Amino acid sequence: MTDTSKPDGGAAQARARPRAPKAAPTIYDIASLAGVNPSTVSRALSKPGRVNAKTAQKIMDAAAELNYQVNVFARALPTGRTQTIGLIVSDITNPAFFDVIRGAETAASARDYTLMLAESTESAELELTAARRMLATVDGLILASPRLSDGEIGQLAAQKPVVVINRSVAGVPSVVADTDSGVTDAVRHLAAMGHTDISYLAGPERSWMSQRRWESIKARCDWHGLAATVVASGLPTVDGGRRAAAAGRGGPANAVFC
């Protein structure tokens, strides 16, 4: 005789137990659905062009149907490459970096790379920490207006490919604006207008480009017989710019270079 006065606790618990999450699809699932070997799937996904177009399309259709997502870290195991590029900027709120970020993303995407972004908030210490963390997972690193020393950048470049923007470091590829040409035109223009004393509103203290720009301004002013002074930089923010502008206007100079 069955006792029906108590609920079946075991059955209730079994019904309440949540289902285990469905495992992510693998290349073996794609191979089964597409009717090809797993090795063919691997070639089609990692090295396009090595599989004939008809087979490649069958594999892509199967991958899409299964909602297959490439695991870059798993793919890196046999190749050592993750198809990711790291980009570190000194200040993500600085409009000067908007085009750098968008350009890097566009170029990376066109080559089937993923862009990882970080900022150092003008701190060399934070920049080095971010760079070391990124190097563990990226194939290469872009440093935009880095605040690191040449030696630190050289050490990073010895581990993975590194490119620097607005900076020149021996042995490291760089993208640097033609400062001398622009400064020459600007100083010549101010001299032609009759200005005799120029004040330079400098960039952040650790800015390599700001220091190079000042050296160029000083040399051109000396050539034209003009006086040149530097207004020390505060924070590289809008408010910092206002304070620097006020200091420049309040000084003895009759022209400001910023």
Burial of 124 from C-beta contacts in 10 A (0-12 / 13-18 / 19+): middle
What percentage of residues in the chain have a pLDDT greater than 90? 40
Query: Region 238-243: what's the mean pLDDT?
Result: 82
At 31, is the secondary structure helix, strand, or coil?
Answer: helix
pLDDT tens digits along 144-185: 989 999 999 999 999 999 999 988 999 999 999 888 999 999
Q: Which residue has the higher pLDDT, 244 or 130?
A: 130
**Residue 200: its pLDDT value, please?**
92
The rounded mean pLDDT for the chain is: 84
Strand blocks (E) in 10-137:
84-89, 114-119
- pTM for the model stands at 0.65
- The answer, yes or no, to whether residue 78 has pLDDT greater than 70, is no
- The answer, yes or no, to whether residue 80 has pLDDT greater than 80, is no
Among residues 111, 178, 118, 112, the alpha carbon closest in space to that of 142 is found at: 118
CB 65, CB 119: distance < 8 Å: no
pLDDT tens digits along 110-131: 988 889 999 998 889 999 999 9
Q: Which residue has the higher pLDDT, 11 or 27?
A: 27
Q: Which of 26-35, 37-46, 188-197, 237-246 has the highest mean pLDDT?
A: 188-197
For residues 119 and 142, what is the distance between their CA atoms, to the nearest angstrom? Answer: 12
Q: In what order do the strands lie in the sheet with 84-89?
A: 114-119, 84-89, 140-144, 162-165, 174-175
pLDDT tens digits along 200-223: 988 877 788 888 899 999 999 999
**Residue 76: its pLDDT value, please?**
54
**Residue 68: its pLDDT value, please?**
79
Which domains does the chain carry?
Answer: 23-69 (1.10.260.40), 80-175 (3.40.50.2300), 179-257 (3.40.50.2300)
> How many Å separate Cα 144 from the centre of its chain?
8
Query: Region 88-117: what's the mean pLDDT?
Result: 90
**Residue 244: its pLDDT value, please?**
85
Burial of 229 from C-beta contacts in 10 A (0-12 / 13-18 / 19+): middle
**Residue 199: its pLDDT value, please?**
92
Query: Region 77-101: what's the mean pLDDT?
Result: 84
pLDDT category at 17 given cuts 50, 70, 90 is low
- The answer, yes or no, to whether residue 22 has pLDDT greater than 50, is yes
Q: Which of 3-7, 10-14, 108-112, 138-142 has the highest mean pLDDT?
A: 138-142
**Residue 14: its pLDDT value, please?**
47
Query: Region 3-23: what's the mean pLDDT?
Result: 53
What are the CA-CA distances from residue 129 to residues 84, 111, 119, 160, 172 (Å)? 18, 27, 11, 15, 19
**Residue 24: its pLDDT value, please?**
78
Q: Which residues of 37-48 are buried (b: 16+ CB within 10 A; e: fewer)?
A: eeebbbbbbeee
N residues, the chain: 258
For residues 244 and 233, what is the distance between their CA atoms, to the nearest angstrom? Answer: 7
**Residue 192: its pLDDT value, please?**
95
